[in-house]
């Protein structure tokens, strides 16, 4: 019998199967400090927990969305909490996320592409 995966298991699997490096989430959130939430328009910042930038999967992982650059927007924590797992199909600020990530993924010091995280346990 095939057991239905829990939300946490689905999330873990989506991150494990992702082509994005381990540092992606940390780096992209940092890059959005000072930028505006595409939903409520607040300025996202690191020193106010309610408006910290958070990763939003445009198609939620619970509904089969992937943890890949094409499916990711950055919105404030309050909006993220109010959306929860409802299906969001708009792209939100995915174009901006892609643009910023394309600039970030090159290590400034040696120009090398950031390594994909090692999934071998
Ligand atoms: Zn917001």
In terms of residue numbers, what domain contains 90? 23-104
18-44 confidence digits (pLDDT tens): 999 888 999 999 999 999 999 999 999
How many domains does one find in the chain? 1
Q: What is the mean pLDDT of residues 50-78?
A: 94
35 phi/psi in degrees, rounded to 5: -90, 170
pTM of the shown model = 0.82
Residue 119 belongs to a domain: no
102-111 confidence digits (pLDDT tens): 888 765 545 5
Q: State the distance from the centre of ligand 1 to the C-alpha of 3, rounded, in angstroms.
A: 35
Q: State the distance from the centre of ligand 1 to the C-alpha of 37, rounded, in angstroms.
A: 5
Specify the residue for token string 């999934």: 119
Residue 11 belongs to a domain: no
Query: Of the ranges 69-78, 90-99, 100-109, which one carries the lowest mean pLDDT score?
Result: 100-109
Q: Ligand 1 being an ion, which residues bring their Cβ within 5 A of it?
A: 37, 39-40, 76, 79
pLDDT of residue 114: 57
- Rounded to whole angstroms, the Cα distance separating 67 from 15 reads 6
């Amino acid at each position: 019998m095939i057991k239905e995966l829990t939300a946490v298991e689905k999330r873990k699997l989506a991150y494990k199967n992702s082509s994005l490096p381990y540092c992606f989430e940390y780096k992209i959130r940092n890059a959005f400090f000072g930028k505006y939430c595409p939903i409520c328009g607040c300025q996202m910042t690191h020193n106010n927990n309610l408006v910290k930038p958070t990763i939003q999967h445009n198609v939620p992982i619970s509904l089969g969305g992937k943890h890949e650059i094409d499916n990711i927007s950055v919105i404030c924590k309050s909006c993220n909490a109010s959306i929860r797992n409802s299906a969001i199909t708009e792209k939100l600020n995915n174009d901006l996320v892609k643009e910023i990530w394309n600039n970030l993924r090159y290590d400034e010091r040696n120009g090398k592409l950031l390594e994909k995280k090692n999934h071998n346990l």
